[in-house]
Structure 1
Amino acid sequence: MTNVLNLQNSNAEDQTAVLMRIKAKLDAKEVTSAQLAREISSSPATVSQILNGKYQADATAIVTKLAKWLTRNEEKKSSPVVNPGFVMTTTAKQIMDDMTYAQISESIVVIYGASGVGKSEALREYKRNNNNVWHVTASPSRSSLTECLYELAMELDMEQAPRRKGPLSRVIRKRLMGTEGLIVIDEADHLDYPTLEELRILQEETGVGMVLVGNNRVYTQLTGGRRNEDFARLFSRIAKKRGIHKTKVADVKAIGDAWNVSGDKERALMQKISERPGGLRLLTKTLKLAAMFCKGELITEKALRAAFNELENND
């Protein structure tokens, strides 16, 4: 076989071992010769000739591809695709560093920008890994001063908190004193000026850190055309601002690594999906559905595309 394969500058025994392992896979019907040829970007005829010792040219490059295929095949068996959960992306680390700064320095940080870049996931992960972090989400029904304070009281486990804003503010202030904690308000763009001002005063009086998170509107509320004397007072208390306006390429790479998606075509499609409205949120949903399609096997471009199409088209 050595003469037929023309194994120049290589270990003939190693390459013979590779071919024997490939034959065993084919004999066990773990893979077809046609599928194998596709996965190493070769022709079925070439693979057949090499395996049968009839290939007349230097087969080193093809045997090297077959060796890589064997390695990947074993990795697939030992590492079935599972949802990795939270992924520490570049953006997530920036957000969590900002939250650490707010908590340690007892100051206000504003994080704002595009939807679906991983802000909320990073907030939840920080809370899971740190003490005295209270995370509430504002909404149209919880945007008034009283409702926002009551939501915070529930997060502080104050089940018997009063419902009037004066007494409510006082008991929350007492609860927060000396905690060295962090208040996180997600979707803060829903909050009006009186609520934001109350939160500012609460933060200053108790010495806790505070992070206001939302879309670009949360920043516009503090600056923009409405920056009168009252808003200027609030704006001056903000120690740090983080604008995140699009998904980072590095974030998509980190998610691909976590999901064990390594092919160039798969990565390119992931990047395109991440650039759609919803960003990383849409990408993660697509990966979860694609993983279901693949039933534990590595996620393919075909599965990714099918999952994306199904999520985007409801008919």
Structure 2
Amino acid sequence: MSNIHVLGNEAAQQTTVIMRVRALLESKAINGAQVAREIGVSPATISQILNDNYKADPGTVIEKLSAWLELRTQKLARPANPGFVMTQTAKQIMDDMTYAQISQSIAVIYGASGVGKSESLREYARNNPNVWLITASPCRSTLTECLYELAMELGMEQAPRLRGPLARAVRKRLVGTEGLIVIDEADHLDYPTLEELRILQEEVGIGLVLVGNNKIYTQLTGGRRNEDFARLFSRIAKRRGIHKTKQNDVRAIADAWGITGTAERELLNQISERPGGLRLLTKALKLSALYAKDEPITVPYLKAAFTELEGVE
């Protein structure tokens, strides 16, 4: 009875392996030729095993398939690139954006470069309806160019290019949407553009988030805070200054990448303190993953990636 039980377990395990491989092939995640190549047998052997017409004892091949499935599971479990990571800073930014959208008010988020502002904006826009994100720049700093960029984001392909008709068309499109306009790099905007956005936000009842470096806040307060800027400043409901990378953010990113070693995490902290902060850190991790291939990301890989990014010989 004992031998029969053992044989029954082996047959059940072999059946499970075959079913898992069949499911992978049916999902188009991989094809039979790839599986055959990775375990070192012919495609015909794989086909015969899966179709239950393999003439010899399939035990050895199924053992290879079982080991291959285990290795594949481990590789997929290792987050080579986890994508967006919800850090403490990201959550704060998204909370501010949610508040601005729900309360139909203005929020200003400003501070150092590379702390995760832009990534957080994009993630919020991806996951929430009626959020329109545009990026200002030197050539999109004037009123007409900024409004036209917004019109394109709103899907207004036939928007007029003249300032007056353009402003009226954008207003008509936004009425009743209860949406959120987000302007990244808003420090490029001139005063007439900021004032037009303020009036637009009030008239159509939407949220507005202005994001940029410290200049955007200085622009609304500091030495240039005359009566006109005071009118705009008084309507800002929420302000968020982010002036350096948080260690909690670095820890969250390290966790997402599966990096647990003390030396590796300390090096990540050091990299995050360089100009560019989390942006540089993420680039270093991506390059480290390429260097490491299927191996864990360790200090030598991180140092090599950082050296390459910094251009140091």
Equivalent position amino acid for 2:92 in 1:
Q
TM-score, normalised with respect to structure 2: 0.76
| Structure 1 residue 297, shift from structure 2 partner | 1.7
- Cα distance in 1 for partners of 2:203, 2:265 equals 49
Q: Which among 239, 242, 245 is matched to residue 241 of structure 1?
A: 239
* Residue 209 (structure 1) aligned with residue 195 (structure 2): no
- Which residue does the alignment assign to 1:172? 170
- Cα distance in 2 for partners of 1:78, 1:153 equals 41
Q: Note if contact 1:81-1:291 (Cα within 8 Å) is conserved in structure 2.
A: no
- Cα distance in 2 for partners of 1:176, 1:153 equals 10
Q: Equivalences for 1:23-62 in 2 at 5 Å?
A: none
| Structure 1 residue 266, shift from structure 2 partner | 0.2
Q: Note if contact 1:84-1:259 (Cα within 8 Å) is conserved in structure 2.
A: yes
- Which residue does the alignment assign to 2:140? 142
- Cα distance in 1 for partners of 2:78, 2:239 equals 40
Q: Equivalences for 1:220-231 in 2 at 5 Å?
A: 220-231=218-229
Q: Note if contact 1:127-1:134 (Cα within 8 Å) is conserved in structure 2.
A: yes
Q: Note if contact 2:184-2:212 (Cα within 8 Å) is conserved in structure 1.
A: yes
| Structure 1 residue 78, shift from structure 2 partner | 6.7
- Which residue does the alignment assign to 1:127? 125
| Structure 1 residue 313, shift from structure 2 partner | 1.0
* Residue 313 (structure 1) aligned with residue 281 (structure 2): no
| Structure 1 residue 296, shift from structure 2 partner | 2.2
Q: Equivalences for 1:58-207 in 2 at 5 Å?
A: 79-207=77-205
- Cα distance in 1 for partners of 2:146, 2:249 equals 32
Q: Note if contact 2:111-2:242 (Cα within 8 Å) is conserved in structure 1.
A: yes
| Structure 1 residue 80, shift from structure 2 partner | 3.1
Evaluate the alpha carbon distance shift between residue 202 and residue 78 of structure 1 in structure 2; reply closer, same or farther with a 3 A threshold: closer
Query: Quick one: percent identity of the two aligned structures?
Result: 76
Equivalent position amino acid for 1:146 in 2:
T
- Which residue does the alignment assign to 1:295? 293
Q: Note if contact 1:187-1:213 (Cα within 8 Å) is conserved in structure 2.
A: yes
Segments ≥4 residues shifted beyond 6 Å: none
Equivalent position amino acid for 2:232 in 1:
L
| Structure 1 residue 77, shift from structure 2 partner | 5.7
Equivalent position amino acid for 2:222 in 1:
G
> Which sections of structure 2, spanning at least 5 residues, go unmatched?
1-70
Q: Note if contact 1:76-1:297 (Cα within 8 Å) is conserved in structure 2.
A: no
- Cα distance in 1 for partners of 2:92, 2:242 equals 10
Q: Note if contact 2:263-2:299 (Cα within 8 Å) is conserved in structure 1.
A: yes
- Cα distance in 1 for partners of 2:123, 2:79 equals 22
- Cα distance in 1 for partners of 2:271, 2:291 equals 18
Equivalent position amino acid for 1:294 in 2:
A
* Residue 271 (structure 1) aligned with residue 239 (structure 2): no
Equivalent position amino acid for 1:149 in 2:
L
| Structure 1 residue 298, shift from structure 2 partner | 1.2
Q: Note if contact 1:81-1:299 (Cα within 8 Å) is conserved in structure 2.
A: no
- Cα distance in 2 for partners of 1:78, 1:188 equals 39
More deviation, 132-141/79-88: 79-88
Q: Note if contact 2:78-2:257 (Cα within 8 Å) is conserved in structure 1.
A: no
Q: Note if contact 2:176-2:204 (Cα within 8 Å) is conserved in structure 1.
A: yes
- Cα distance in 1 for partners of 2:197, 2:264 equals 45
- Which residue does the alignment assign to 1:253? 251
| Structure 1 residue 82, shift from structure 2 partner | 1.4
